[in-house]
A and B are shown apart, each in its own frame.
Chain A
């Protein structure tokens, strides 16, 4: 694991599929150890943006800089946590989580040890030998979080990580993520369409309009953590939420 979390910057990204422009000159930056949330309507191109940042697809134009370098390898250096958990069905939970350190170059025993520790940390001790389909959605997503943590990249791209979960599990997982992020401080770009999730977790919230994705507003969340008192968000967040909602409306993202 490197000492310093890398900074991520996207400059003027353009990407289209056929005649459809998905990214049209999108720029954003995430400072080292910062969590930025990107909110926008469904289908605005957020997932495509994350694929481009992760190095899975090449943009038609524009560049992605890691710590200011455009030629830095990104596959394996930025860890993408997809909306579905993307756990391999034929591997046990332990096998899935240990995959991250294995692919990062660790030996089998070392990887298994790290995976066991991470699973215990996320409340999954005792479920090491279960296959993903035998676990609940929340447990699988915790497993995906453990795998992301063990990838050792310290730069996370989270693609609506809790989008497929019910409201209670979602709130639970959000707290797990908040705690994990506060101890590890990875550079994080969180894509979501849940304003509360964005405000409870991020240092800054960016707003994208409908497709093609462009940043139309930005809100700094200078509210100290933890941002929940009991089970309710801090009252300071209410004003910010209203402001975000207005920005989305002005961008034509909501009626």
Chain B
């Protein structure tokens, strides 16, 4: 379909090679396995494929058909049109990894700008060119810290209020090292915002403390004391951050975090049923040499002109091989570009605006809901950013089912991940939600109560 060869081309080429037919080029494949008959659906032309894909897509309900209050790690923000317009330029999306800087300055400069934006947003010194997503970035933070102490500190302390998927991925990545303990997120230590029981577990054997900001429940917690304590005991601190929140809130770099990482999907990347997304990862200068992943640096070319190149490549797998700290090869390329363009288009004002709108609307929603019978806002869980938790008198599944019948995605059932939060619902409100949407949500819930 995309092969341009004419019969004549093939003839000439075979003649040049010195074989009679194409099959002769596959002689080394054992005869009994050669040319299997694949059981696949009949081939389609582009027109047929387009129709088929439209048909499959229409079997979904989407956040365009449904009013969505779903968050829990992926957020429905407005994506300005210019982003996709630029992303679809063939020079960007059909380019390869910029190993040859002379003909990759577009990609390299865009990554350099991404690194800069992330540093400014998070208050950190150096950012890499991205990881796959927030969850794998969390695992890489653990690998970095563990290696930093040369595997001598054997404890990783992770808060239970960190996204459950992040905690699962950390455990998957580290499962081969049975001497390493990943603790702190048990129900006994709990999720109280004061975090006393959690902080009490930091000791001289702790390599890394991992917390989230805002946390999985949307709460804004002051980690200054926690970070001080950790540092006094020689441990590193990694904070998982929501980038939209950083348009409004004090960044982790300003309160002493050693590592700031997170999910960059809110920065101009479509929901797309979970991927591809964007893991960003930034550190203080002291940890620069431990950074995994690609790094773009500034230099000059043979004429003294400013140029960008991949640098410190000796850390990476293609040179270090088994001594590399991480096996990571690709970064999230296009998604990194999307986030860079988003942050450039919105700029300081736009990002502040979006953050503020999310905050304001979420608080209005929380207010309205807490005034209703059958729903209780978990009071001591303020302040929060754009997500909040309500306790439901009825089973959450029932509430969500009722809402779905009215074309509303009501939020995330926390009981799935937290047995102690069996009747609790996590709702997210972004700048896309209008006041009348919130009022509609309440009206439908009111009906559920009284109907």
Whether A associates with B in a native complex is no
